[in-house]
Structure 1
């Protein structure tokens, strides 16, 4: 649930509304320097390439399977779409039962976790806990409710042991879901935690901070009460609205700046560069998988404009 989507319904003051509704919290710092206008990343700056479109959709979540097929969710209709390759049509494969389709992540049993309940209730998500997750069998396209009682599932990732983590960028609670379906809705507290991705060794959960104290944090799984800021934004970038992030093969966060229309790579604490620009309303980035279709090493962006772009400068191989 990001600034561009809510702007369609409640106007340009959404940032002020969201910030006023959230609790401002302090985070511990891992030597980040205050960020300023960023340079273009070495080898980057090429024009993004349009590789798919879902007309009329506001794309929120994205995941790519081992065969290079891309799945994405439409926040407006609650549908899940599949694109078999760049340029292929978007095929609807499922619809969430309660509207507001959100984040996607692969479960340890091979099913695709689909977050939902991302509607106006997320403003009171920490109280109402409307967030839920279903499991999609991608072989049969059967969607089965899995768990509920989360603040939201706007960001979602799964550790090697099958434990899932879910965020709410309009709340403060980060939930934890065990493989057996047990839900811990307040595993960690971080205002406006958005996109979520685990590091390769599952030591840290990386999250973007969208509305409150914008930037990027990493949360130690062994000590969730001590989140560490690795990027603090200031100046005009304070309004950039960092969104759903990914990690490259070197563990560097790649973050879409929703309002600024840029894709950033965080090379070290407090230091980032621009992989692509001219992409306002970007909601999430993802790296491809496999040898065909949306293949490994290639970086893709989805957005609330319903478009899917490849980011040539983000190639990771």
Structure 2
């Protein structure tokens, strides 16, 4: 029996869908490794808004970065030999990408030029970076997921000081660390552990490390688990459920508030970002249908870019 009443359902609608001109035929190493036997036209991830209100998304299997304007029109910004997953935009306009193959990259949105930022840790390659987040001071946090899971709980979460060029491993025992975000007071990092069906809480100490790591919220289970995450202005946490076609919303004490259901037949909601007027709309990547969904919310979201 649940300790809490069932969360209230909220609805979504389609904001935009990947145009057919950009559909691919499924001939990709990523598809063969992760979706064998399937014809995947795209796998969208990493939604993030720039200061002009354009939405950027990644397409993992085909190394593509798209920009979607406020009217839902798509532009291919760049295509390269990589598997881009997470994407965040710095206040100075630089786009940071968590690329499974190459590590942390930066992208110039005007030229489409990519520059490696972090490709290894002390000459050891990453397992496969997944998502990233900037705190209010501009420090970068990112997850190194690779193929970790319950069979190999060795996923890592890192922090990186861009000014001092200091890389710090916070944990190295995560069962598939994925999306991440800071809490409202910026005292703890919340990390989605996809194969652990939970969100972990990593208190950040004054020396930049962590201790007393615990489970913030347990998910409902299923074939996947917690994926991309975002925070609203009240500190409520929004968690994509990549197997159940929804977003779960928890208050700052992990009490479930809402379930935001996909309006499509897709079950793979991978990531999300606040945007729109007053930052009160939630935009979600429905990767299984190449669709961007949107929901109207009562509270505005926290900005996703750095405040530096």
Considering fraction of residues, name the structure with more strand: 2
Which residue does 1:16 correspond to in 2? none
- Tell me the distance in 2 between the aligned counterparts of 1:164 and 1:189: 17
1:303 Cα deviation from its structure 2 partner: 2.6
CA contact (8 A) 1:35 1:271 kept: no
CA contact (8 A) 2:235 2:252 kept: no
Which residue does 1:75 correspond to in 2? 60
CA contact (8 A) 2:182 2:190 kept: yes
Q: 1:72 to 1:135 in 2, by over 3 A?
A: same
Find 1:51's aligned residue among 9, 12, 15.
15
CA contact (8 A) 1:38 1:274 kept: no
Counterpart of 2:221 in 1: which secondary structure? Answer: helix
Which residue does 1:132 correspond to in 2? 103
Within a 5 Å distance, the mapping from 1:19-58 to structure 2 comes to: 39-41=6-8, 44-46=9-11, 48-54=12-18, 55=23, 56-58=41-43
Q: 1:108 to 1:68 in 2, by over 3 A?
A: closer
- Deviations, residues 57-88 of structure 1 (Å, cap 9, x unaligned): 10121111122110000011111100011432
CA contact (8 A) 2:4 2:256 kept: no
Counterpart of 1:195 in 2: which secondary structure? Answer: strand
- Tell me the distance in 2 between the aligned counterparts of 1:35 and 1:244: 25
Which residue does 2:191 correspond to in 1? 207
- Tell me the distance in 1 between the aligned counterparts of 2:107 and 2:194: 28
Counterpart of 2:84 in 1: which secondary structure? Answer: coil
How many residues end up aligned between the 2 structures? Answer: 259
> Do structure 1's residue 276 and structure 2's residue 260 form an aligned pair?
yes
- Tell me the distance in 2 between the aligned counterparts of 1:35 and 1:86: 42
Within a 5 Å distance, the mapping from 1:91-170 to structure 2 comes to: 91-97=75-81, 99-107=82-90, 109-117=92-100, 132-149=103-120, 150-169=126-145, 170=148
CA contact (8 A) 2:240 2:271 kept: yes
1:37 Cα deviation from its structure 2 partner: 9.2
> Do structure 1's residue 220 and structure 2's residue 203 form an aligned pair?
yes
> Do structure 1's residue 230 and structure 2's residue 197 form an aligned pair?
no
1:262 Cα deviation from its structure 2 partner: 1.5
- Tell me the distance in 2 between the aligned counterparts of 1:143 and 1:38: 48
Which residue does 1:173 correspond to in 2? 156
Considering fraction of residues, name the structure with more helix: 1
Task: Name structure 2 gaps, 5 residues minimum.
Answer: 24-40, 121-125, 149-153, 301-308
Q: TM-score, normalised by structure 1?
A: 0.73
Q: TM-score, normalised by structure 2?
A: 0.75
1:162 Cα deviation from its structure 2 partner: 2.4
Give the number of the structure with larger relative contact order, counting CA–CA contacts within 8 Å between residues 6 or more apart.
1
Task: Name structure 1 gaps, 5 residues minimum.
Answer: 1-33, 119-130
1:249 Cα deviation from its structure 2 partner: 1.0
- Deviations, residues 147-174 of structure 1 (Å, cap 9, x unaligned): 2114433120012332211113434211
Instruction: Give the alignment's Cα RMSD to 1 decimal.
Output: 2.6
